[in-house]
A and B are shown apart, each in its own frame.
Chain A
Amino acid sequence: MMTDEELVQAYRAGDEAALRTLIERHLGPVYAFVHRYVGPTGDAEDIAQETFVSAWRNIDKFDPGRKFRTWLYAIAKNASLNWLKKKRPAAFSEFDLPTGENPVVDTAEDPAPLPDELFSRTELAAELTAAMTILPPNARAVLSLYYNDHMTLQEISEVLGEPLNTTKSRHRRALQMLRRKMVEKGDNAPKKPGKL
């Protein structure tokens, strides 16, 4: 099977089917990423379209030395961010500085482990999805890329266009926030029979 980078080279050489293969290969993960980034009320379909059209427009500028996936996700993240800015002009986090730094994120400590009882809840999937929507977009992005797309923190920092340490801290802080949301719901959540 050809790698993404080989498909890009093939398309540049005139093989149109290579472009279709590339889009087919990444459509599902990119759509899921965009969907999680902008939230359930977001227009993920339009943003996904914009992402791939933008990638096609700039495919000649793609550096084959880079990973195509991180390059594509960076476009998807920018498209999602533009959409969010249009819809919500306010800052994504009240802690964001004008320089783009986030002192709260940068000083986050390791999150506590998840309690075992969490996995016995019957509505865990829905609760998790709901908890994710409450997180800030960049926190959702880090978690989604790390746990769903299995990217490394280095790759995620490239997608988000920020230093690796910031991404590491953002990841820890996102886990803390997610854990808090999930544990808060714990008392009221229904449990699987026999697990109590």
Chain B
Amino acid sequence: MNDKYQKLFSYIDRPVVPVGLLDKILVKIEVAEQRRARFRAVIYGILAMVGLAALIPAGWEFFAELNASGFTQFASLAFSDAGTLLVAWQDFLLSLVESFPIIGTAAVLGSVFVFLSSLRAFLRDVGPALHRSHLVHA
């Protein structure tokens, strides 16, 4: 039964693709690609600046915490009194960990991460944002 229908459909008129349709599609994609890259570049550029700006207060916070916690004093002990350190190394390590400026370090690392990852994404998108791809002539 299907053979006859198959034969019937071999007679059907095949629509002809309009001349230039391929180029129209490629140009549309190029334009959309550039628009998307511009949008992303702006967003990531702003994020990178925010990450960079956040490094300043994060750095201040880090050094303030570092000074207030006595971490540097404990750390300097390692160089000035190595004998005591060897005897009570467990207490020493615990003191170091307790006095470590966790919030300040997290703030600095977070800011650095946001800045670097945004900068990477910005650099990836800035090229396509400024120059349209060449799909038509690919």
A147/B138 in contact, CB under 8 A? no
Number of interface residues of A (CB under 8 A): 37
A19: contacting residue among B4, B15, B135, CB under 8 A: B135
Specify which of A27, A113, A128 is in contact with B4 (CB 8 Å cutoff): A113
A125 with B4: CB separation less than 8 A: no
Cβ of A143 within 8 Å of any chain B Cβ, yes or no, is: yes
Interface bits B20-36 vs A (CB < 8 Å: 1, else 0):
01101110110011000
**B91 located at the interface, meaning its Cβ lies under 8 Å from any Cβ of chain A in the complex:** no
Residues of A within 8 A of B24 (CB): 45, 49
CA distance A35 to B25 in the complex (A): 16
Q: Which residue of A lies closest to B136 (CB)?
A: A20
The interface residues of chain B lying within 8 Å CB-to-CB of A186 are: none
The DSSP consensus for interface residues of chain A is helix
Contact of B11 among A19, A44, A124 (CB under 8 A): A124
Known: A128-B12, A148-B9. A56 touches B21 (CB 8 A): no
The reply to whether B13 and A23 form a contact with Cβ atoms under 8 Å apart is: no
Interface size class of B (residues with CB under 8 A): 20 to 34
Q: Are A125 and B12 in contact (CB under 8 A)?
A: yes
Looking at the complex, which one of B1, B12, B133, B135 makes contact with A110 (CB distance below 8 Å)? B1
Candidate in B18, B21, B28, B134 with the most chain A CB atoms within 10 angstroms: B21
* CB of B131 within 8 Å of the partner chain: no
Please tell me if the beta carbons of A31 and B12 are within 8 angstroms of each other in the complex: no
CA distance A125 to B12 in the complex (A): 5
B39-67 vs A, CB cutoff 8 Å, 1 = contact: the mask equals: 00000000000000000000000000000
Interface contact B5-A19, CB-CB below 8 Å: no
A32 on interface, CB distance cutoff 8 Å = yes
Taking the complex as formed, is A104 at the interface, i.e. its CB lies under 8 A from any CB of chain B? Answer: no
A151 contacts the other chain (Cβ, under 8 Å)? no
Q: Which residues of B contact A (CB under 8 A)?
A: 1, 4-9, 11-15, 17-18, 21-22, 24-26, 28-29, 32-33, 133-135, 138
